[in-house]
């Protein structure tokens, strides 16, 4: 015989479905932000950073050329202090130009490696976003069908046993024994068997003469015993 399921709360499925939808919406926003950051970073490297370091290289190259021209002028003037100061300026311009060149080379290297180092991982994020969208539809549909099925199951009445028409006892409650039919009382004035007969009940049944009434079954039996039978004929006579 199949056992019945114990349905405690269908609202728990509805609450879980609502929480799942909220979680999927938040995760979708995060995944979209990751994809946008990947694209935005690539554009930033190709346009802003590359253009910035190229401009820095041009500007610092001009500054270095100007510093070298001033150093040459100081040498021609024969002023040792001026030559020393102009030489320090040239060294600083060369260091600044080298930093700009290194920055430009670093940006170009990042642009070349961006597809393998970053966008390969971004593809996994895109796959996760598509899978989340597909699984969300399946999960929400499954929870809705499960809640509807349990609601229909909980609305069915419990089966009644075929041998008796009495309802089945609750879980853990002892079954009541079947009622035994009591024989009807012979005397309508006699009190029920669950209450002892008092003197007042006895006088009421006895009547004005004070005799206790005799049950009909006893009277009928006594009458049958005392009824005269057919007279025997006397010798020589007739009945």
Which one has a higher pLDDT value, 148 or 171? 148
Domain assignment present for residue 56? The answer is yes
pLDDT score for 3: 62
Domain assignment present for residue 5? The answer is no
Of 64-68, 90-94, 113-117, the one with minimum mean pLDDT is: 113-117
Domain assignment present for residue 112? The answer is yes
Which one has a higher pLDDT value, 116 or 104? 104
Which one has a higher pLDDT value, 94 or 191? 94
* Alpha helix (H) residue ranges in 49-119: 50-77, 80-114
pLDDT higher than threshold 50 for residue 1: no
Rounded Cα distance, 39 and 44, in Å: 9
Percentage of the chain with pLDDT > 70? 62
Q: Which domain holds residue 89?
A: 11-154
**pLDDT range class, residue 204, cuts 50, 70, 90:** low
Domain assignment present for residue 81? The answer is yes
* pLDDT (mean) for 111-120: 87
pLDDT score for 157: 46
- Here the CATH number for the domain that contains residue 122 is 1.10.287
Is pTM, for the whole model, over 0.75? no
Domain assignment present for residue 209? The answer is no
Tally of domains in the chain:
1
Report pLDDT digits (tens) over 34-43: 888 988 999 9
Q: What percentage of the chain's residues is helix, strand, coil (to nearest 5)?
A: 65, 0, 35
Domain assignment present for residue 191? The answer is no
Domain assignment present for residue 67? The answer is yes
**pLDDT range class, residue 187, cuts 50, 70, 90:** low
Residue in 54, 74, 78 with CA at minimum distance from that of residue 66:
74
**pLDDT range class, residue 44, cuts 50, 70, 90:** very high
pLDDT score for 80: 84
């Amino acid at each position: 015989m199949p056992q019945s399921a114990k349905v405690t709360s269908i609202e728990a499925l509805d609450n879980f479905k609502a929480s799942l939808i909220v979680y999927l919406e938040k995760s979708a926003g995060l995944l979209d932000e990751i994809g946008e950051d990947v694209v935005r970073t690539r554009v930033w490297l190709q346009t802003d950073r590359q253009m910035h370091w190229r401009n820095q290289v041009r500007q610092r190259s001009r500054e270095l050329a100007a510093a070298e021209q001033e150093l040459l002028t100081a040498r021609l003037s024969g002023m040792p202090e001026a030559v020393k100061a102009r030489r320090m300026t040239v060294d600083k311009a060369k260091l600044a130009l080298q930093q700009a060149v290194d920055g430009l080379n670093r940006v170009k290297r990042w642009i070349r490696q961006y597809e393998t180092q970053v966008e390969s991982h971004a593809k996994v994020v895109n796959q996760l976003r598509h899978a989340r969208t597909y699984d969300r539809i399946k999960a929400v549909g499954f929870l809705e069908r499960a809640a509807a099925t349990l609601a229909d199951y909980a609305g069915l009445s419990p089966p009644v046993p075929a041998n008796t028409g009495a309802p089945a006892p609750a879980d853990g409650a002892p079954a009541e024994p079947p009622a035994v039919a009591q024989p009807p009382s012979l005397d309508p004035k006699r009190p029920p068997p669950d209450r002892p007969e008092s003197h007042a009940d006895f006088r009421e049944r006895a009547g004005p003469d004070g005799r206790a009434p005799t049950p009909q079954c006893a009277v009928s039996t006594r009458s049958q015993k005392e009824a005269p039978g057919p007279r025997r004929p006397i010798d020589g006579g007739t009945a």
